[in-house]
Amino acid sequence: MTTPYILMALLGGAALLLPVLQATTVERFTRRSAGYFTIAVLLAALAIVLYPVVSFTAESGGPTSAVFKSDLMALFFGVAVLLVAIFVTITSLEYQQDDPNISIFYSLILFTSLGMTMLAFAVDLLMIFVAWELMGLPTFILVGFRKKDPASSEAAVKFFILGALSSGILLYGISLLYGVAGSTNLYAVVDAMSTLSPALMPMGVVAIALLIAGFGLKLSAVPFHMWIPDAYEGAPTTVSTLLAAGTKKAGFVAAIRVFLISLPLFQMDWTVAFAVLAVLTMTLGNVAALTQRSMTRLLAYSSIAHAGYILMGLAVAPFTSLGIVGALFHVLNHSVMKSSAFIAAALVAYKAVGTHLDSYKGLALRMPFTAIVLTIALLALAGVPPLNGFWSKLVIFAAAVEGWPGVWWAPWLALAGILNSAFSLGYYGWIIKRMYLDEPGQTSKVIEPIIFRIALFIGVLIIIITGIYPAPIYEFARMAAASL
């Protein structure tokens, strides 16, 4: 009940405090300690989010008139996004250490974490929009954080235009929804929709189309994906991690809530739309990833493909309860897998080995630890058993098959997903082959900093443990889906 308010006080307060600390204390002191302070705050936030889960005090399903609802669904996404934020902060301790405005950097990470967690808890269109902006605005600045680097500022302009357009379209969609329903509370919108006069029906459909477009822009679904790889490539790689694994996932929670709670009347309209979007998104993501020569671009396209898998779970959600379970499970798994892969790529780029795929040749000899972690993360992304990505993809594909009596296209959706998954193994395997089988251009060993090792080790540990013993997280996802 009070969880989101405590989080607001904690994360918001810490985010406001950090720049003040930088201005008032010795610079040498703040440089490192600002990072440790941020990690401590994020860990505290994670504990606050986990507390209602372990003490079984999460709110049950059903309508509420409040703007926040701390049900298991919100807590699940809270855990996922805070984990990513912690990974990013740990990595930034080393990656961003020469930045003069490091406190601002951490402050923005805290603000966007607050936006992501608020979005997870919000059940009112007004609060969803405010959280959406709070999540988006700091990321625009973070992408362009390297002011001197032309690539960074170009990425920031492109990412800002996409983000601003997404919130504009979302806002217009919300205004239409408010017009037909007379309320912004999601549950009140449901009630109003069920007694809607046929004359207002077209307006409702347009509102949904606009909401899909607005969310789709943030989720980088096709056809809104075009500048996303540019943004990920130009941004500092730690920030790309936050975007691919964090804010995009938080976008999904809003999409899930809005479409599953408030719009059951238009089921047919949006399930077909989501199914088409899902197939296009994963196919385009995988095909484009195959042709990339830059590791960050490849990972960006791969995360577009994974957004497609998650959309697939949403598309069959009205016909089987497994759909949302699979989508949630994959959201958490993908957060960890993509964070690990991006952090490994960040380390390779940071040590000036490069981002071009050819610089990964023979990496196993130069950076053995990074190569192993990257291999495991890529195999998990491809969905190879017994890693975590396998189980969540399995649940999503099973859900698509199970949706069959409800909709005729469900088995085809599953087939498209399986083909895509097999196809993606091609380019992931290619990178692994470069790292282990190709001759390196240089043979000198590269030092792998301890901070990166810690982040990578935690990531890989979660990947393997979830892979071997997926039951607890699957159960968490199942209960979260049931709490809607």
Partner 1 sequence: MMESLLSYFLVSSILFGIGVYGVIAKRNAIRILFAVEIIINAANLNFVAFSRFPPSPNILGQTFALFSIALAAAEAAVGLAIILVAFRAHDTVDVSQLKKLRG
Closest CA relative to residue 425, chosen from 371, 390, 381: 381
Contact yes or no for 371/436 (Cβ under 8 A): yes
What torsion, rounded to 10 degrees, do the Cα atoms 302, 304, 305, 310 define?
130
Confirm or reject binding of residue 355 to partner 1 (CB under 8 A): no
Q: Which is nearer to partner 1, 171 or 398 (CB)?
A: 171
Confirm or reject binding of residue 342 to partner 1 (CB under 8 A): no
Contact yes or no for 449/370 (Cβ under 8 A): no
Q: How far is the CB of 164 from partner 1 (least distance, A)?
A: 4
Q: Which is nearer to partner 1, 270 or 301 (CB)?
A: 301
The tally of CA atoms less than 13 A away on the side-chain side of residue 403 is 32
Confirm or reject binding of residue 292 to partner 1 (CB under 8 A): yes
Taking CB under 8 A as the binding criterion, the range among 94-102, 255-263, 287-295, 348-356 that sits at the site for partner 1 is 287-295
Residues facing residue 356 across a β-bridge: 294
The tally of CA atoms less than 13 A away on the side-chain side of residue 371 is 24
Binders of partner 1 in range 214-243 (CB under 8 A): 229-230, 233-234
Q: Which is nearer to partner 1, 299 or 477 (CB)?
A: 299
In 3-state terms, what secondary structure has residue 71? Answer: strand
Q: How far is the CB of 378 from partner 1 (least distance, A)?
A: 19
Contact yes or no for 295/357 (Cβ under 8 A): yes
Q: Is residue 445 left, alpha or beta, with left meaning phi > 0 and alpha meaning psi from -120 to 50?
A: beta
Q: Which is nearer to partner 1, 153 or 267 (CB)?
A: 153
What's the CA gap between 3 and 69, in Å, rounded?
9
Give the tokens for residue 80: 């996922």
State the residue for tokens 């800002």: 160
Binders of partner 1 in range 115-174 (CB under 8 A): 125-126, 129-130, 133, 137, 140-141, 144, 147-151, 153-158, 160-161, 164-165, 167-169, 171-172, 174
How many residues line the site for partner 1 (CB under 8 A)? 50
Q: Name the residue type at position 114.
A: L
Confirm or reject binding of residue 311 to partner 1 (CB under 8 A): no
Taking CB under 8 A as the binding criterion, the range among 63-71, 179-187, 430-438, 445-453 that sits at the site for partner 1 is 179-187
Q: How far is the CB of 143 from partner 1 (least distance, A)?
A: 8
Confirm or reject binding of residue 293 to partner 1 (CB under 8 A): yes
Q: What is the DSSP letter of 236?
A: -
What character string, x for contact with partner 1 (CB under 8 A) and - otherwise, covers 242-281?
A: ----------------------------------------
Closest CA relative to residue 359, chosen from 282, 293, 313, 408: 293
Residues facing residue 59 across a β-bridge: 71
Closest CA relative to residue 310, chosen from 228, 413, 419, 380: 413
Q: How far is the CB of 160 from partner 1 (least distance, A)?
A: 5
Q: Which of 128, 135, 181, 312 binds partner 1 (CB under 8 A)?
A: 181
Q: How far is the CB of 119 from partner 1 (least distance, A)?
A: 14
- Binding stretches for partner 1 (CB under 8 A): 125-126, 129-130, 133, 137, 140-141, 144, 147-151, 153-158, 160-161, 164-165, 167-169, 171-172, 174-176, 178-179, 181-184, 192, 200, 229-230, 233-234, 288, 291-294, 297
